[in-house]
Structure 1
């Protein structure tokens, strides 16, 4: 028996009093309760449905937004050599002073194998050996059979080689993305840029590192992620560099020299506009230091320490004038030979009993230069050469040059003072010589050599000689070219001035009889020097005027003349009428010293 719940008596009485059927009233009440319950359940269901739809909408929006960001950005990936050390896969460009590209990066690939994925060791070895002739199939096979799953094959391959490897169709051979360093100017600037190599490598990236030259000196700057898009701008002018190298190579070949160097420097601020050393090398294929071509890495311009001959007479004259010992027309005793102990100093020719200081320079008298240096004194000579930078390695931004210390006499005797006055007994680099000449001809302000564009000109705090001394020296150097030993360097319209220097090469127990280093150091225009040029030829030789000639007047001076003819128009300099300046009044050595 089923018990039916009784309706409340109050509801029944109320319904009957209104003339209604209590059963119908109860049914309607239950129907209303049911409708309310269903309405509430519908509202709950609709709310849950909207909430779930919102969640899905947000999720799909996030995924879509991320996909849009990824598709619009450059692909990146985490690159690590070891935990916590990111690999710097990019490197800033290097350009010359005019924006010409000197070093940049090119996308390439490396190739490696994972032996666990390989199915045919012999096929892979033979296939790779056929694509890369320098690889041996047997050697590769031995590598594949060694312990370990990962083996490098090559750090760089060309697109053609990559396609050929693809066509092998061998599993287990993979490519890793790389950025290789290329040098569009090749060997024409090898000694300056130095070169780079892969230092840290991983399957998906590799880090380039400078090994020499500018690449090594500014390794942190070139690899700095914040400066990747800012090229490093050098002071080098590639048009001048190309012209300098072409002239130097042709003259080196013409004179049969075994080496040569040339430097063009802005005399106003020490910027190196061009620096060439021959023979040179291509930084795209840098030779190994210990290999058969390792000698090519040596820069004669910034590393070669040589005796520079009579080019040093300019410093003896400038020092004497600056200290009031002599003037351009001071009479100098040139009677010879000059005897010091068992040593005798002679001139190349007999120039008579006396010459003016200017004529000592013009005729390149060793005796005259020696007597001026003795009158000036050893301490004064030491101080002056120290001020010009001959006591320390060159501060130029080349790590190799920082190790090229000048060779000074172990005991600076009076004989050292004599021989150094005409360029023997002290050895330095051509870069030292160019820097010193720039400092004494530019008005007397010491400059510091630099390979970076935008150098700051020196100030009065950097003065090494007075403006008057500098001007007088420039007139002397101009006379050397216009009517002296460097006449072959005289180019009409450019007022070339300078001094020749011929130094015997050191040999076992002394000096070689027929091997010299011929040097010319000069500037143009002499009335207001803008550029200093140093040219050096190692063991030059030419047949002229019925005899074999090795001196700088016959070899380095003509090279200077050809060089000025080539580079002056590139530097924006046009031939100008020569400005003649009167010499200071003549005086005697004795009276000038008072």
Structure 2
């Protein structure tokens, strides 16, 4: 044993043999051991209490957060942002009778969180079994991107969502969204318009609603999922669907490129129905034909042909320089500026004003315009809104075109509808002013009362001129080119217009026409104007292709089917008191 070990052994024996405080050595050792045990136990209990307290606090925090998540709206705690901030509610669009034309429906869109996807190839392969239209390369790029969120497919069907859920792909989820639905489909497409994938108005009244402030509120995040008051339009979906059906059938029947029509309330300016075909399906606008985007009624300008003779005749009568009983020499063509103005079916004799209107004499109409003069001619057409851009709610409105400088040759050709291009809708609005007592009322696609219309109406012709025009329109329908527009009991009056079609700034040399018919009914006390056009028809009733053989029959069909819906009662007999009796 070493020296150091011996010293330590001696110290140990001395400690236990002498003890402390006069107590025996054995008692001292026992007391020390007991104190050590108590201290160890106390420390252990303290440590367990601390651990329990820590776990208790942790569980309380977790439980509290779970309760918070349970009572909070899901979108406010979502890592990808509130759904309704992206696609806030849009107001329903309804017709004048409350029938829904556009509404929001709830749907879901598929997204991926690339950092959570375990096997990209397997995920892509599984998704492709449900969504075969997905672009494999683009989708793979999204699934392998470093971003934490990627859209994969917007607006899924419930069946697609169910099948994808069954696949159980990690890192793939669904987000609630809204989709705009149009129950009437293409029937009212050019009026109602459509929205894009983010529910923003792109065309028609959908765009108008956004322009009234909805788009600005959405951009500021001030819209919500709350139900909004519907936007009521002036159109009647019953008449609208019927009118669209007539146009679709006419394009096929007359082998035409396009067609359009409008039914307008002459006193309030309300558009009851308006359509242009080809058109598109607002529920799936991306697959529409290219030509279907153009609303030819308000966003297309055309030379309206002999329908303009209605305005020229009204101008001459309203000026006081021409009376209904006057006559004009239509025996010889007019030669001016290297051009020869002649009649299509010339009578080669002196014609009265009603005969000029009935036979659609270019010569007689030009001479009436010449009496009024160029300044008066231009001012009158401006007064009727035919030379300026039409003001209405629909965003798709094109400005008319006219010569930069009006010369005599321009005034002559414009008198019978060549040289000025206007939209068919503003032609109908101008026509309404000729039969409603002489008041120009701007068109509207929103409900408008008679009092509201009268407050904004502008007198453009004398009441006596209006009475003369109603007589001439009825005279032409009974004895002239508008016979095929007649509907028993409804006293239709109107004027045809057959114009050479303008193609790339030149008149077509292959005989293509742009045909129109401007009418009003019942002509003794007009309530509605109906205007139709048909573009480049290859045939018509009886084989011809002038306006009286295709545009006029279209008006007749529209009036026959719409008049009962509009509450217009038929009148039979000379005084209108006879009843139609069926046995």
User: For 2:367, which of 368, 371, 375 is the aligned residue?
Assistant: 371
Q: Is the 8 A contact 1:518 1:551 kept in 2?
A: yes
- Tell me whether 501-510 or 530-539 shows the greater mean CA deviation: 501-510
Alignment match, 1:31: none
1:484, distance to aligned residue in structure 2 (A)? 0.6
2:289 is aligned with 1:298:
no
RMSD between aligned residues: 2.6
Question: How many Å separate the matches in 2 of 1:193 and 1:129?
Answer: 35
* SS of 1:89 mapped into structure 2: coil
The unaligned stretches of length 5 or more in structure 2 are 1-62, 218-222, 577-583
Greater percentage in strand: 1
The unaligned stretches of length 5 or more in structure 1 are 1-62, 200-207, 582-594
Alignment match, 1:566: 561
1:141, distance to aligned residue in structure 2 (A)? 2.3
Q: Residue by residue, what CA displacement relative to the aligned partner does 1:112-142 show, whole Å, maximum 9, x if unpaired?
A: 1112222121221111111111114454223
Q: How does 1:135-146 map to 2 (within 5 A)?
A: 135-146=134-145
Alignment match, 2:429: 435
Alignment match, 2:329: 333
Question: How many Å separate the matches in 1 of 2:505 and 2:100?
Answer: 48
Q: How does 1:482-561 map to 2 (within 5 A)?
A: 482-507=478-503, 510-513=506-509, 514-542=511-539, 548-561=543-556
* SS of 2:344 mapped into structure 1: coil
Would the alpha carbon gap of residues 394 and 81 (structure 1) be closer, same or farther in structure 2, given more than 3 Å must change?
farther
Q: Residue by residue, what CA displacement relative to the aligned partner does 1:41-62 show, whole Å, maximum 9, x if unpaired?
A: xxxxxxxxxxxxxxxxxxxxxx
* SS of 1:287 mapped into structure 2: helix
Q: Is the 8 A contact 2:240 2:273 kept in 1?
A: yes
Question: How many Å separate the matches in 2 of 1:137 and 1:164?
Answer: 19
Question: How many Å separate the matches in 1 of 2:484 and 2:228?
Answer: 47
Q: How does 1:135-174 map to 2 (within 5 A)?
A: 135-174=134-173
Q: Is the 8 A contact 1:495 1:578 kept in 2?
A: no
1:249, distance to aligned residue in structure 2 (A)? 1.4
* SS of 1:412 mapped into structure 2: coil
2:342 is aligned with 1:351:
no
Q: Provide the aligned length of Structure 1 versus Structure 2.
A: 499
2:425 is aligned with 1:416:
no
* SS of 2:548 mapped into structure 1: coil
Q: Residue by residue, what CA displacement relative to the aligned partner does 1:356-402 show, whole Å, maximum 9, x if unpaired?
A: 1111111111100000000011111111111111122221212121x
Alignment match, 2:269: 270
Q: Is the 8 A contact 2:208 2:395 kept in 1?
A: yes
* SS of 2:454 mapped into structure 1: coil
2:278 is aligned with 1:279:
yes
Q: Is the 8 A contact 2:435 2:467 kept in 1?
A: yes
Would the alpha carbon gap of residues 382 and 134 (structure 1) be closer, same or farther in structure 2, given more than 3 Å must change?
same
Q: Is the 8 A contact 2:540 2:550 kept in 1?
A: no
Q: Is the 8 A contact 2:75 2:81 kept in 1?
A: no
1:210, distance to aligned residue in structure 2 (A)? 0.5
1:507, distance to aligned residue in structure 2 (A)? 3.7
Question: How many Å separate the matches in 2 of 1:453 and 1:438?
Answer: 17
1:461, distance to aligned residue in structure 2 (A)? 6.0
Q: Is the 8 A contact 1:79 1:87 kept in 2?
A: no
User: For 2:307, which of 303, 311, 318 is the aligned residue?
Assistant: 311
Question: How many Å separate the matches in 1 of 2:573 and 2:335?
Answer: 41
Would the alpha carbon gap of residues 121 and 453 (structure 1) be closer, same or farther in structure 2, given more than 3 Å must change?
same
- Tell me whether 111-120 or 96-105 shows the greater mean CA deviation: 111-120
Alignment match, 2:208: 217
1:295, distance to aligned residue in structure 2 (A)? 2.2
- Tell me whether 352-361 or 421-430 shows the greater mean CA deviation: 352-361
Relative to the length of structure 2, the TM-score reads: 0.81
Alignment match, 1:577: 572
1:543, distance to aligned residue in structure 2 (A)? 6.1
1:198, distance to aligned residue in structure 2 (A)? 3.6
Q: How does 1:83-232 map to 2 (within 5 A)?
A: 87=86, 89-199=88-198, 208-219=199-210, 220=212, 225=223, 228-232=227-231
Question: How many Å separate the matches in 2 of 1:385 and 1:313?
Answer: 12
1:261, distance to aligned residue in structure 2 (A)? 0.4
1:183, distance to aligned residue in structure 2 (A)? 0.8
Would the alpha carbon gap of residues 148 and 126 (structure 1) be closer, same or farther in structure 2, given more than 3 Å must change?
same
Question: How many Å separate the matches in 2 of 1:331 and 1:128?
Answer: 80
Q: Is the 8 A contact 1:519 1:552 kept in 2?
A: yes
Question: How many Å separate the matches in 2 of 1:457 and 1:172?
Answer: 59
2:391 is aligned with 1:392:
no
Alignment match, 2:465: 469
Q: Is the 8 A contact 1:498 1:522 kept in 2?
A: yes
Question: How many Å separate the matches in 2 of 1:423 and 1:353?
Answer: 22
Alignment match, 2:238: 239
Alignment match, 2:21: none
Alignment match, 2:419: 425
Q: Is the 8 A contact 1:362 1:483 kept in 2?
A: yes
